[in-house]
Structure 1
């Protein structure tokens, strides 16, 4: 987890806030440190199916895990204001990845510092000794005080209350500035827990039999991938290629800030092999593969212990370039919709693919469908939508969908035939001011297959998530449309194009 200026707050202030919370209680502390109530709340931008807190600041998702029928989403959270600071773990749960219930703050700052990003696992066999032989939840997080160190907390009541381990920190700082964001998983072939840690612009790999005692195993990152900023929020998992369990690759996820293709923060990935000790990339050292070339998909983390074995994740839908300027109130920050991950073999090699989780189908309603020449297409409307389209470009130079249209504004999602690029153009998305760099057109390369483009768009009030060609090309962008901008138009420029389209409202 990075900070707005990537420097920790002075420790005395942190200790004051922790002590004040204990004496005054959270309500009094909010009155002491939080902003005045706003007269300009923005319910029109509150997501319908993406998670956002009731109020105040959030950033990275943390501790994503499924346990006893619930998906847990912890997240970087300032309980006392709508700017970064007082970092704690907020908490929400869901039975279905769509309907989220926000719970009280799970982890708050202590004498070791603020609570930065981390992960959570189900300790099924009580390897940690915390649970008397029963399964329980263990959170592994960074304490950020004078230094950044890795700590544990455990819960025996489905994540409702947490006990911090008396032996913290379990991985002390070895004398480096950036030393954070532990991601832990069980590696069955070696019979131990594996922990990935972002250290400067490297990933360190640790191993442990019990989550308490850790040994440094290896390091990855020198001369591989993008090094335009600090590395953060790693993840590592194995996926089959095109669903073939006999052919798998390991996927290493690394977020980076700055240095992203759309400016600011972004997330890259590496494919290769992991033997329980060392990750070995099978790509050229200078090759950079981006998870998402939009501006607003950062610090994704995958869920542990998903019952059916799917690899699911979500990310923070924002960008460190302007996160503190996001014009929502009384909350600032949201997550993307959860996505299912896979690998597919393309003409350019194996690539990561993403699609919205199937659970979204349960909240679709009001289906509208049409097919034909785009110039004759009807107008649709809605502000929380799932749009599924299959385009045949014909002679068109560009084609696609305008969402959140009205009053001379729109967010244009389309394909440029000559450039072979998918794009999101938010330069005319509305009158809300975010930052000078916010109005932009973001692109990702995509060659059409068989003269058609399958396109899926989740347009949810203040953002668009675009998945093309089965999720091979993905763009995620925040937008802040004006009130009443709820129209959806199909477009084709420079010639005719045909489409089959379905439009659904999303109503949790």
Structure 2
């Protein structure tokens, strides 16, 4: 106990030093610690779970192993925030028990107290999650995953597991997990979207306790390079019409290898989801946005966050004493290109709150490299860059440092593709496939390009053409990539450019 206290004390002191003096932090073991993305203080994290907005607070639960910085028996970690940027790590919410590890799931506010868990007029928070039983798994019966629930009456501080767990037994499917639950108002019932090996199965319930199968989707739709996981189902409005969005994460089989998220657009009638297109569409073309799902109870806003890593190398990335972070929160919408609908995602407006100074330029010509770093310098390398071109032309942004590390981000007009090249970005030898160049198609047909780049210590998130094309990649430079330039083989005219330094938000 004393050793544990001493270790936690050291972590607290280290975190304080990191926040107050980032220039020194690059020499510490935490030099890759994200500064405005959530990461646990120590040990392993993967999928975001149970994301819900309640009483003015965003709750982020996540797959967590508190005893090592590699995957292990899963718990639900917990963090809270008022703005999805300044996160406070809370005590562990759910621990493994006799039914198994606590795998991924969701959380809802049971406003009508359909579950009966509410008390004295207080609506309960209800978590719906997968129990994964390693003992049964070893028996290879295909019955080792089933769905359970827990509830909280103190705004998520403590949780009580339902005595009747599991509420949805396994029908004999090897991969039967990751319940995402929402309230379907037209039929006054809860709908569970569940990943069931190579498809999605929908269930419904009046009270979150008794579940009935409604339908299946996806056996012959979308990408099937790996197992389907971490789904989400929700409506968005487009030109006055409601469109249902079904997100399905897949591992492996992503467009740039490994883990990724695909999505389908269509109709849902409370029983059956019908896709309006057979085209495979990707939520993010980078390699580091997996298990991405949305917050519950956010009204007309649909906000998404993902796990900023990839199962190809998640257990090997060179961070210490933690592993993994989440993406920034992203706001989702729909847009049409040649009458085909696509999901768009852009940085949530809350990101504006951590902008502190910068500059703007208009009508800038770029062919030979043009330095974009602010005159006052930005040693942390934390920034947001927004620009719009006068026409469609190739360009390349170069993030670099004096150690010779560089990350290349750009657009190739000949192939009509955006790209991120991290082959020379710093430490890459921990996994054979990490040092790669990743590509994403340009979907927009506009005669100009608008481009947003959000850079943290060890990650970049790219939002092109209003979020039609999105890429997220992590990297591990020797020192912060504080130098920034733009160049173009044929020359490019930047109509408007905005550079904003971002201040750290993590404790």
Tell me the TM-score normalised to structure 1 length: 0.89
Does 2:253 correspond to 1:259?
yes
How many angstroms does 1:435 deviate by?
A: 0.9
How many angstroms does 1:222 deviate by?
A: 1.7
- Residue aligned with 1:248, SS: strand
Aligned ranges 1:38-117 → 2 under 5 Å: 42-117=29-104
How many angstroms does 1:276 deviate by?
A: 0.5
* Contact 1:148/1:178, CA 8 A, preserved across alignment: yes
Partner of 1:504: 500
Partner of 1:10: none
Partner of 1:187: 184
Does 2:196 correspond to 1:208?
no
Q: Deviations over 1:194-219 (max 9, x none)?
A: 00111111111111111111111111
Distance 1:386 1:319, change over 3 A: same
Partner of 2:128: 140
Distance 1:248 1:42, change over 3 A: farther
2:308 aligned to 317, 324, 328, which one?
Answer: 317
Does 2:294 correspond to 1:302?
yes
Partner of 2:233: 236
Q: Deviations over 1:222-277 (max 9, x none)?
A: 21111111110010001112xx3x21210101011111111111111111100011
* Contact 2:403/2:479, CA 8 A, preserved across alignment: no
Partner of 1:150: 147
How many angstroms does 1:153 deviate by?
A: 0.5
How many angstroms does 1:406 deviate by?
A: 3.4
How many angstroms does 1:399 deviate by?
A: 0.4
Structure 2: distance between partners of 1:346 and 1:406? 42
* Contact 1:432/1:481, CA 8 A, preserved across alignment: no
* Contact 2:395/2:492, CA 8 A, preserved across alignment: no
Q: Deviations over 1:173-203 (max 9, x none)?
A: 1122111000000000010000011111111
Structure 2: distance between partners of 1:41 and 1:204? 47
Structure 2: distance between partners of 1:254 and 1:496? 37
Structure 2: distance between partners of 1:317 and 1:120? 21
Distance 1:213 1:367, change over 3 A: same
How many angstroms does 1:408 deviate by?
A: 2.3
Partner of 2:420: 424
* Contact 2:453/2:460, CA 8 A, preserved across alignment: yes
Q: Deviations over 1:319-355 (max 9, x none)?
A: 0011111111111011000000000011250000000
Alignment coverage as a number of residue pairs: 469
- Residue aligned with 1:408, SS: coil
Partner of 1:480: 476
Q: Deviations over 1:121-165 (max 9, x none)?
A: 001111100112421200000011121110000000010000000
Please, what is the CA RMSD of the aligned residues?
A: 2.0
Structure 1: distance between partners of 2:118 and 2:209? 14
- Residue aligned with 1:360, SS: helix
Partner of 2:371: 378
Which moves more between the two structures, 227-236 or 488-497? 488-497
Structure 1: distance between partners of 2:269 and 2:50? 24
Distance 1:349 1:165, change over 3 A: same
- Residue aligned with 1:493, SS: coil
How many angstroms does 1:376 deviate by?
A: 7.3
- Residue aligned with 2:371, SS: coil
Structure 2: distance between partners of 1:59 and 1:41? 24
Does 2:263 correspond to 1:269?
yes
- Residue aligned with 2:336, SS: strand
Distance 1:137 1:25, change over 3 A: farther
Structure 2: distance between partners of 1:93 and 1:255? 24
Partner of 1:290: 282
Does 2:319 correspond to 1:328?
yes
Distance 1:496 1:157, change over 3 A: closer
* Contact 1:130/1:154, CA 8 A, preserved across alignment: yes
* Contact 1:154/1:162, CA 8 A, preserved across alignment: yes
Structure 1: runs of 5+ lacking an equivalent: 1-23, 32-36
Task: Find runs of 4+ consecutive structure 1 residues off by over 3 angstroms.
Answer: 24-28, 375-379, 447-451, 494-499
* Contact 1:339/1:355, CA 8 A, preserved across alignment: yes
Structure 2: distance between partners of 1:360 and 1:213? 40
* Contact 2:388/2:449, CA 8 A, preserved across alignment: yes
Distance 1:216 1:26, change over 3 A: farther
- Residue aligned with 2:122, SS: coil
- Residue aligned with 1:327, SS: coil
Distance 1:27 1:216, change over 3 A: farther
* Contact 1:80/1:86, CA 8 A, preserved across alignment: no
Q: Deviations over 1:375-421 (max 9, x none)?
A: 47434044211111112357x5x303222443322111100011111
Distance 1:477 1:83, change over 3 A: same
How many angstroms does 1:452 deviate by?
A: 1.7
